[in-house]
Chains A and B, each alone.
Chain A
């Protein structure tokens, strides 16, 4: 296909390669041919064709069929949207053609990358779990025993319960969902691989245990004891006693920052960098006893729920909360953030559970759950399932955003469970359809089909990792440790353009009115020849200083005038039209007003 020149325009001269390529055959058709080599050009003999025409044609067709590429399948729009990083950036503001072209090319690359990522969806091996009720039944009716009876052996083994005597328990899963850590209020600490049921260690610290938390690898964990926080390894050996973290109530771990966040009973929030053992942030939040604390996995910000119904968000390097959200008129009883970092779920004594948009931070909840009793524990799974407990009774809902309530028939919970004791901690196991529940007298592992992400990324978290892989992962993670300064509400801030915000522009304008003339330091050259002593030098110095000062003041005055003028005209100075002032009515008393100063003529 050759481009035809539009009418009225000269046909461009054929370029050398076009001329060489198009050789006219006897039929009048143009056939592209290779330019002949030098020694072939002067050949005058005949070519003998050995192959028969038909055979070669058939061969050619066969070869063509074999080499024909399979057509690429079109990717559905919703899959593409899942993998996209947002809309393409508009290139209208780009000034030069070079950068416009560069920008366009970049967008093409981004689009291609998104498409390639979306195509990998085909390779995912597992499908999410699901539970479907028969006719005239609801999933809420099913008990755990029924589910266990209907699933395969491997999954059935995931349901188990432990009767433990050391008081209300707290628990954590590792990030890859393979190991489990239990901590009893009366000093019992146990770590084990819950899939194979292999115990790593079990001991009693002979102190109250407030909270437990895995660190970046499943070989180390932290236990908040009566006075201080202790670090133990997999075998139960005490590694550290961190006395700077005292009377800690709640702990959380930020895996990409290597920060152990702790909230204590005096209202202090502390962040301990576990790779270098340094407190990167430690200050009083002024919220009193910190009972409800979770970090946002999407950006690393710590969300702390207070007694006044306010959730405040904290970063280790900022002593003020980054944001505050009034969620309930009553005290907050539980809060959690979904694993994608998009929604905050809070529960209050007003018996409501509210779902908030964490990125928009609007004051209207996205969904509300009405309950008969206030929820005391909340948890959101990887696929957006909500679990909430009210004392000994717990419910799960399929979607955080749908809302629900005890009174409404069409919004029944997905599953219900009554435990034999008060529920103290609940966690969904990552990459599994399992909800772990720690109660006052033990631990229960419940099956919740469809809650976990079926396909893990082995370079992120790998439930099947070997110790060698774990070690390598640890090294890579340490190399990519994000500095705590980068914990902000918007994690994409660092990839954006650093343009001044409206507030900064306003501040800059305002600053103009309080500018002081800068201090001027001049060192006049020491002239050896000629007259003039120190007095003259000082005088000269003063003259220069005064002059510069005057210049500065004039500049600032002009800038101020411009600002005032632009505001007085309501931003119309850009159009160039000046609004005519209405003529003032003259009065008799005007004669006493000071006369307008005449412009001074420049003196010669």
Chain B
């Protein structure tokens, strides 16, 4: 007879010394892993709970400004550098890695309205309420030397914003007119004008670098081409837009932060209606900035909160707030896609994590695998009501909650009223208008 029995040699299964790793033989046969579905579900539930437990997005507070923070400038090459301008004309350069202020100087009389780095990061342009454009060196002056601008350009018009071209040496300012400047000259190459209204924000397209967009105080968004003599197009919304940000990856799309608590994502090719209306803020949205991936953006609002959106979804994925943060004036998403900066009225710049529950620091491969696994599980079971409820829940400040309730009531009331009017009027006379189309008044060419 031939007989063979399972007889395991302990040498193959037990470690020899304590310095060795334990031997973990695996067998992926599904029969040895029963109840796969329920076990995975429980894991997904735990992962979702842990995600909320570890959601501590606030990193640090950069204090030093003596007045409210007005604008940010992101360095195109150094991740650890951020320039901020304040209401009192002071500009500060921060070392984010050490969380300290590297350098500060008074750049303007009155507000600093805009900061832009040159494309190689060697020069810094600031505009202020004193109708000047000042050019600064990025390196700090030597000890004993005073902070002096490299160049000061006196503008004929009031200046409200500045944006630098990503590919050549031109930059653009806005104010009474949109002016295109060359770094070498003290006079604008070109001025563009459409109507008599003030332009309060300007932004160059990061890919098609001849195109730029402005927001005007007549509630319109204007598109320019710096090669043309006249502006391209204009779209008028129901309320004023405060800020505009281009999607860096899908550069034909841009998002505007609007005064009516919403953000609107537009496709430049179809300006008649926005691609998406982003809700959830309860007060005027003051600033918006895209993540370098182009999949998400951050917005700051007068309701003292910062919200993060998926670019193709209409409701926010997260809300950041602290007890002390006042009206948020400017926000920025760091170029490594990991941090968010917010500047607010009460003189502080705050640094947040872009992903609230992300673990910072060195992550070992096993940990990384586990995080990836948890992400996959969360996505797989996201539709289950228990998991959805936990993942969606956010604690919001009381004033936001009250405002939300109030806005909901107003919306419901309007819906009821419209339905009543429709009921009592001729069929087809009160049409159904989609939420997207409600906010666009007209498009001019």
Q: Which residues of A contact B (CB under 8 A)?
A: 82-83, 85, 117, 120, 123-134, 137, 139, 142, 146-147, 150-152, 154-155, 158, 256, 297-300, 339-341, 382, 431-433, 447, 449, 452-460, 463-464, 466, 469, 479-483, 486, 491-495
Contact B28 A457 (CB under 8 A): yes
- The answer, among B1, B34, B42, for a CB contact under 8 Å with A298, is B34
Pick the contact of B3 from A147, A469, A486, A493 — CB < 8 Å?
A147
CB closest residue in chain B, given A137: B1
Does A432 contact B6, Cβ atoms closer than 8 Å? yes
Total chain B interface residues with beta-carbon distance under 8 A: 36
Q: Is the CB of A480 within 8 A of B1?
A: no
The 9 closest A-B pairs by CB, nearest first: A155-B5, A132-B2, A117-B28, A457-B27, A458-B24, A495-B37, A486-B38, A455-B27, A129-B5
What residue in chain B is nearest A339 (Cβ atoms)?
A: B31
8 pairs from A and B in contact (CB 8 Å cutoff): A123-B26, A130-B4, A151-B5, A298-B35, A433-B6, A453-B32, A455-B29, A495-B41
Of all chain B residues, the one with the shortest Cβ separation from A496 is B37
Nearest-neighbour CB distance to chain A for B269, whole angstroms, equals 19
- A455 contact set on B, CB distance < 8 A: 25, 27, 29
Among A132, A137, A147, A482, the residue within 8 A (CB) of B38 is: A482
**Contact yes or no, B27 A456, CB < 8 A:** yes
Contact B5 A132 (CB under 8 A): no
Name, among B10, B13, B32, the residue most crowded by chain A CB atoms within 10 Å (CB to CB): B32
Given contacts A151-B5, A480-B43, contact A83 B28 (CB under 8 A): yes
Q: Which residues of the other chain, B, contact A152 by a CB distance below 8 angstroms?
A: 5, 7
Report the minimal beta-carbon distance from B35 to chain A, rounded to whole angstroms.
5
Partner of A340 from B14, B31, B39 at Cβ < 8 Å: B31
B10 touches A130 (CB 8 A): no
Whether B323 is near chain A, meaning CB under 8 Å from some CB there, is: no
Chain B residues contacting A146 (CB-CB under 8 Å) are: 1
Minimal Cβ-Cβ distance residue in A for B40: A495
Across the interface, name the chain A residue whose C-beta is closest to B376: A109
A574 to chain B, nearest CB (A): 28
Chain A at the B interface: SS class:
loop
B46 within 8 A of A: yes
The docked-state distance in angstroms from the alpha carbon of A124 to that of B384 is 36
Interchain CB contact under 8 A, A299 and B35: yes
Given contacts A339-B31, A494-B38, 20 further A-B contacts (CB under 8 A): A82-B30, A120-B26, A127-B4, A129-B3, A131-B4, A132-B3, A142-B1, A151-B3, A155-B7, A256-B38, A299-B34, A433-B6, A457-B32, A458-B23, A459-B26, A469-B22, A480-B39, A481-B42, A482-B39, A491-B35
Contact residues in A for B14 (Cβ distance below 8 Å)? 464
B:185-242 near A, CB below 8 Å: none
Inter-chain contact B35/A129, CB cutoff 8 Å: no
Least CB separation from A483: chain B residue? B42
Q: A129-B4, A142-B1 are in contact. Are A493 and B26 (CB under 8 A)?
A: no
Closest to A452 in B: B6
In the complex where A460-B33, A482-B38 touch, is A466 in contact with B22 (Cβ < 8 A)?
yes
With an 8 A cutoff between CB atoms, is B438 at the interface?
A: no
Q: Which of B2, B7, B27, B43 contacts A124 (CB 8 A)?
A: B27
Other-chain contact of A447, B5, B24, B42, B46 (Cβ < 8 Å): B5
Given A457-B28, A459-B24, decide whether A482 and B35 contact each other with a Cβ distance below 8 A: yes
Contact flags B30-61 to A (C-beta < 8 A → 1, else 0): 11111111111111001000000000000000
Asked if A130 and B3 make an inter-chain contact with CB atoms under 8 angstroms apart, the answer reads: yes
| List of A residues within 8 angstroms of B40 by Cβ | 495
Across the interface, B35 reaches (CB within 8 A) one of A137, A300, A479, namely A300
Complex Cα–Cα for A432 and B34 (A)? 19
B1–A134 CB distance below 8 A: yes
Say whether B8 faces chain A, with CB atoms less than 8 Å apart: yes
Residues on B with beta carbons closer than 8 Å to the beta carbon of A464: 10, 13-14
Indicate whether A256 sits within 8 Å of B39 (C-beta atoms), given known contacts A128-B6, A457-B32, A459-B26. Answer: yes
Chain B neighbourhood of A127, CB < 8 A: 4
Say how far A217's CB is from chain B's closest CB, in angstroms.
18
Select from chain A the residue with minimum beta-carbon distance to B8. Answer: A126
Q: Hey, which chain B residues are within 8 Å of A458, CB to CB?
A: 23-26
Nearest to A106 among chain B residues (CB) is B380
Would you call A493 and B37 a contact (CB within 8 A)? yes
Contact indicator B28/A256 (Cβ below 8 Å): no
Shortest Cβ gap from B372 to chain A (Å): 13
Nearest-neighbour CB distance to chain B for A531, whole angstroms, equals 23
Name the residue in B6, B14, B27, B32 with the highest tally of chain A Cβ atoms < 10 Å from its Cβ.
Answer: B6
In chain A, what residue has the closest Cβ to B312? A98
**Shortest Cβ distance from residue B234 to the other chain A in the assembled complex, whole angstroms:** 32
Q: Would you call A129 and B6 a contact (CB within 8 A)? A: yes
Contacts A129-B4, A453-B32 given; does A491 touch B42 at CB 8 Å: no
Minimal Cβ-Cβ distance residue in A for B25 = A458
B1, A125: Cβ atoms closer than 8 Å:
no
In the bound complex, how far is the Cα of B35 from the Cα of A449, in angstroms?
A: 28
B residues in contact with A340, CB < 8 Å = 31, 34
Kindly report which residue of chain B lies nearest to residue A151, judged by CB atoms: B5
CB distance from A435 to the nearest CB of B (A): 12
B420 at the interface (CB under 8 A from A): no
Could you tell me the distance between the alpha carbons of A481 and B41 in the complex, rounded to whole angstroms? 10
User: Which residues of the partner chain B approach A491 to less than 8 Å between Cβ atoms?
Assistant: 34-38
In the complex, whether B434 has a CB less than 8 A from a CB of chain A is no
Contacts of B384 in A (CB 8 A): 494
Instruction: Kindly state the separation between the CA atoms of A579 and B162 in the bound complex, as whole angstroms.
Output: 74
CA–CA, A134 to B1, complex, Å?
Answer: 5
- Residues of chain A within 8 A (CB-CB) of B2 are 130-132
Q: Chain B contacts of A449 at CB under 8 A?
A: 3-5
Q: In the docked arrangement, what's the CA distance between A297 and B7, Å?
A: 26
A495 contacts which chain B residues (CB < 8 A)? Answer: 37, 40-41
The residue among A142, A151, A447, A457 with the most chain B CB atoms within 10 A of its own CB is A457
Name which residue of chain A comes closest to B39, CB basis: A480
Q: Return chain A residues, CB-CB under 8 Å to B184.
A: none
A460 and B32: CB pair below 8 A? Answer: yes
Q: How far is the CA of A83 from the CA of B32 in the complex (A)?
A: 11
B259 vs chain A, min Cβ distance (A):
31
Residue of B nearest to A486 (CB): B38
Chain B residue at smallest Cβ distance from A152: B7
Is B12 positioned at the interface, with any CB of A under 8 Å from its CB? Answer: yes
Taking a contact as CB atoms under 8 Å apart, the answer to whether A494 and B25 are in contact is: no
B1 adjacent to A150 (CB under 8 Å): yes
Complex: chain A residue closest to B28, CB-CB: A117
Residues in B whose Cβ lies below 8 Å from that of A133:
1
Most buried by B among A154, A447, A469: A154
Residues of B within 8 A of A432 (CB): 6
Residues of B within 8 A of A453 (CB): 27, 32
Q: Which of A137, A300, A457 contacts B25 (CB 8 A)?
A: A457
Cα of A585 to Cα of B80 in the assembled complex, Å: 95
Closest A-chain residue to B13, C-beta based?
Answer: A464
Complex CA–CA separation, A127 to B7 (angstroms): 10
Contacts of A469 in B (CB 8 A): 22
How far apart sit A494 and B24, CA to CA, in the bound complex (Å)?
30
Nearest B-chain residue to A298, judged by Cβ: B34
In Å, the complex CA distance between A154 and B30 comes to 30
Taken residue by residue from 384 to 399, chain B's Cβ proximity to chain A (1 for < 8 Å, 0 otherwise) reads as: 1000000000000000
Write the chain B residue with the least CB distance to A482. B38
Least Cβ–Cβ distance between B424 and chain A, in angstroms: 13
CB atoms of B7 and A154 under 8 A apart:
yes
How far apart are the CA atoms of A433 and B5 in the complex, in Å?
A: 6
B390 CB to nearest chain A CB (Å): 15
Q: A83-B29, A457-B25 are in contact. Are A492 and B37 (CB under 8 A)?
A: yes
Cα separation A126 to B1 with both chains bound (whole Å): 21
For the complex, give the distance between the alpha carbons of A82 and B28 in Å.
Answer: 10
Contacts of A493 in B (CB 8 A): 37
When chains A and B are docked, how far (Å) is the Cα of A369 from the Cα of B323?
Answer: 75
* Most interface-central of A158, A447, A492, A494 (chain B CB within 10 A): A494
A457 touches B30 (CB 8 A): no
CB–CB B6/A82 < 8 A: no
Residues B373-422 near A (CB distance < 8 A): 384
CA distance A433 to B34 in the complex (A): 21
